[in-house]
């Protein structure tokens, strides 16, 4: 159960790939942040890719996760990417201005 | 056609998904669009999360998932969150209320990107999302007594047409 909430993490070259869980809310956000930061420090990755393929729900806690990671890596020249956004998540990106700091990739 | 429901639950983060799914289930018979459903779930999630972490100070998962509590939180606040919904002529009225600490300056709290808890990596977009995703938003708060959020949204085609 906890595994599903936390998402999957994989380091490929200098990228951290995070497959986000089905629902992203405040309840699971803390653990996603903690885990992501572990990889950021341990593997010294430069870029982060958020994969929303499985994600069907996200509230403003998701914005916090992404902005937080962006702050941590952008000062070292790292970039944040997002893939597989559905329409609702795309709207949330636009509303929050997240699409200005995150590069949304067409998949 | 009129239909009402009310739920009261513990202000812990486990209940965030329960709350939004309960409201979503309540409106399914009105045939909402996927988008309307997502809007309502997001707005409910924002309001309930606010009550839990700001109203009662029950922070992320501590005490239940075996994670250490942040130093300022020794125990879980026993407070409750109350959601009442009323459907009338295809319009959904949601009231989400807590009896927590309340908000000193509601106007300030509603500013996008303003958050009192940057340490929790909150984005400060909660009220902005509620405002954007619902047709109307009203926030009433008394410091020390609690906060009530009222939201209104018109759903789909209105009355059910068989």
Contacts of A21 (CB under 8 A, 6+ apart): A4, A5, A6, A7, A28, A32, A54, A55
Contact B83, B94 (CB under 8 A): yes
CA distance A30 to chain B (A): 7
Of the two residues B117 and B50, the one the predictor is more confident about is B50
Q: Is A95 in contact with B125 (Cβ distance < 8 A)?
A: yes
First to last CA, chain A: 28
**pLDDT tens profile B39-88:** 999 999 999 999 999 999 888 654 334 455 565 666 788 999 999 999 99
Determine what percent of chain B is predicted with pLDDT higher than 70.
Answer: 87
Instruction: Report the distance separating Cα B161 and Cα B39, nearest Å.
Output: 23
- Whether residue B48 is contained in a domain is answered as yes
- Please answer yes or no on whether B13 and A27 come within 8 Å at the CB atom: yes
What are the C-alpha distances in Å from B127 to residues A22, A82, B103, B118, B133? Answer: 23, 24, 13, 15, 10
pLDDT tops 70 at residue B162:
no
CB B12 within 8 A of CB B18: no
**Which chain B residues are Cβ-neighbours of A88 within 8 angstroms?**
34-35, 38, 42
The owner of tokens 């808890």 is: B117
Q: How many residues does chain B have?
A: 162
The chain-wide mean pLDDT, for chain B, equals 88
- Does the residue B73 lie in any domain? yes
Mean pLDDT in residue range B110-123: 86
Q: Taking Cα atoms as reference points, which of B75, B54, B38, B77 lies closest to residue B127?
A: B54
Contact criterion met (CB < 8 Å) for A25 and B53:
no
pLDDT of residue A1: 42
pLDDT tens by residue, A45-88 = 999 999 999 999 999 999 999 999 999 999 889 999 999 999 99
**Nearest-CB residue to B121 (from A25, A68, A92):** A68
| Nearest beta carbon to residue A88 from set B13, B35, B120 | B35
Domain range for B45 is 2-154
Mean pLDDT of B1-20: 94
Q: What integer pLDDT is reported at residue A28 of this predicted model?
A: 87
Asked if residue B34 belongs to a domain, the reply is yes
Q: For residue B85, what is the enclosing H or E element?
A: strand B80-88
CB contact under 8 A, A59 and B46: yes
B49 → closest Cβ in A23, A61, A65: A61
CB contact under 8 A, A92 and B129: yes
pLDDT at A15 over 50: yes
User: Is B40 a domain residue?
Assistant: yes
| Closest chain A C-alpha to B17 CA, distance in angstroms | 8
For residue B44, give the CATH number of its domain.
3.30.565.10
Q: Which residue has the tokens 């200005």?
A: A100
What are the Cα distances from residue A34, in Å, to A68, A77, B73, B89, B93?
A: 11, 21, 19, 45, 37
For A34, B27, B48, the CA distances from B67, given in Å and listed in that order, are 12, 36, 22
Q: Do B129 and A59 touch (CB under 8 A)?
A: yes
Asked whether residue B159 is domain-assigned, the answer is: no
Domains within chain A, CATH numbers bracketed: 2-105 (3.30.750.24)
Average pLDDT over residues A22-29: 91
User: What's the rounded mean pLDDT across residues B88-97?
Assistant: 95
Contacts of B46 in chain A (CB under 8 A): 59-60
* Strands B136-142 and B146-154, bridge-based pairing: antiparallel
Residue B125: count of CB within 10 angstroms of its CB: 26
Residue B15 lies in a domain: yes
Distance separating alpha carbons of residues A84 and A90, to the nearest angstrom: 10
Task: State the nearest Cα–Cα gap between A89 and chain B, in angstroms.
Answer: 10
What confidence score (pLDDT) does residue B141 get?
A: 96
**B160 in any annotated domain:** no
With beta carbons less than 8 A apart as the criterion, state whether B97 and B81 touch. Answer: yes
Taking contacts as CB-CB distances below 8 angstroms, the residues of chain B near A87 are: 35
Residue B157: the pLDDT is: 60
- The DSSP output letter for B119 is G
Number of domains in chain B: 1
Let me know if residue B137 belongs to a domain: yes
Q: Is the pLDDT of residue A4 over 70?
A: no
CB-nearest partner of B14 from A27, A30, A95:
A27
């Amino acid at each position: 159960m906890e595994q599903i909430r936390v998402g999957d993490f994989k380091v490929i070259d200098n990228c951290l790939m995070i497959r986000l869980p089905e629902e992203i809310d405040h309840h699971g956000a803390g653990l996603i942040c903690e885990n992501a930061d572990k990889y950021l420090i341990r593997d010294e990755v430069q870029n982060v890719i958020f994969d929303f393929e499985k994600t069907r729900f996200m509230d403003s806690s998701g914005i916090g996760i992404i902005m937080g990671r962006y702050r941590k890596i952008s000062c070292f020249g790292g970039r944040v990417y997002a893939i597989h956004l559905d329409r609702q998540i795309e709207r949330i990106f636009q509303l929050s201005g997240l699409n200005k700091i995150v590069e949304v990739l067409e998949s | 056609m009129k239909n009402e429901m009310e739920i009261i639950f513990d202000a812990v983060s486990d209940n965030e998904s329960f709350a939004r799914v309960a409201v979503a289930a309540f409106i399914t018979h009105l045939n909402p669009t996927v988008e309307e459903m997502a809007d309502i779930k997001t707005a409910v999630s924002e309001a309930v999360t606010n009550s839990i972490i700001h109203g009662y100070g029950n922070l992320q998962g501590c005490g239940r998932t075996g994670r250490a509590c942040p130093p300022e939180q020794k125990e879980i606040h026993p407070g409750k969150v109350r959601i009442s919904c009323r459907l009338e002529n295809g319009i959904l009225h949601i009231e989400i209320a807590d009896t927590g600490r309340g908000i000193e300056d509601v106007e300030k709290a509603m500013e996008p990107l303003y958050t009192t808890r940057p340490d929790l990596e909150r984005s400060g977009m909660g009220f902005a999302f509620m405002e954007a995703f619902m047709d109307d938003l009203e926030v009433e708060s008394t410091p020390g007594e609690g906060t009530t959020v009222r939201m209104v949204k018109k759903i789909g085609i209105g009355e059910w047409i068989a």
